[in-house]
Chains A and B, each alone.
Chain A
Amino acid sequence: MTGFNVLGMRLRQAVCENWILDGVSVTSALEHLGEAVFDPELFSKHENAIVTAWNEANPAQRITLKKKRGLYGVFQFLNLQKA
């Protein structure tokens, strides 16, 4: 992961930054996309559509969305990075 073009979605900077620093793979970032989503509450969620599109385009590298959405997931992720 080297950078982002989120096409109007809002992503959480701290999470994205850590992804770049850790050099995580695109597939791992997409699987954990829920942690980075910063769109306002009650807005429609796009993670599933994005993951589905990836799977259609890359049948060899199928991924599944890890359901760890929400602030708890973010906190867990960021604390993990610090440790």
Chain B
Amino acid sequence: MTEFVFYTLAAAAVLSALLCIVQKNPVPSALWLVSTMFALAGIYVLLNAQFIAAMQVLVYAGAVMVLFLFVIMLLNLGHASETDRKRGPVVLVAVLLAAGIAAALFAVRDTSVASLAARVGAPEVASSPLAALPGAGRVQSAEAFTNPIASIARPMFETYLVPFELTSVLLLAAAVGAVVLAKRKL
């Protein structure tokens, strides 16, 4: 059942992503990207990452895509332009490049999944996925499985506290930068 849901969502994600890049008009393109993000949120739930799924819907499908649609509407870009889609040999080059990257990623996946399977096969790792974390001894694995938020919050606010605080500076810089760039006259 889980696999059936996964493959349905995966097919929806790939189909929406393809439709996103071939649409002439930017508005349907953005809406197909929202559909991809919702499908990915469903896959995150299947992968036992409920917090990330909620963040995906709130931040990506909510905030970021609304920002995109807002700019499309503000600049009145809701119509197709003739020079937008490239034609000729560049199409072949793009498809070949994408296929090459996919092939390279498949090759990496095969090696990484093989080595991961060897690691997961080890009994202590299989019993606790947290064993790979630095400072994992302090976190009890039973809590990790009953409370997914706590199991993310612990590494975020213990091991990665400084990067977490630095993201606030990044967001402030981005907000100020966006205002400065978009303003006609300061």
The answer to whether A and B interact is: no
Binding site for B on A (CB under 8 A): none
Binding site for A on B (CB under 8 A): none
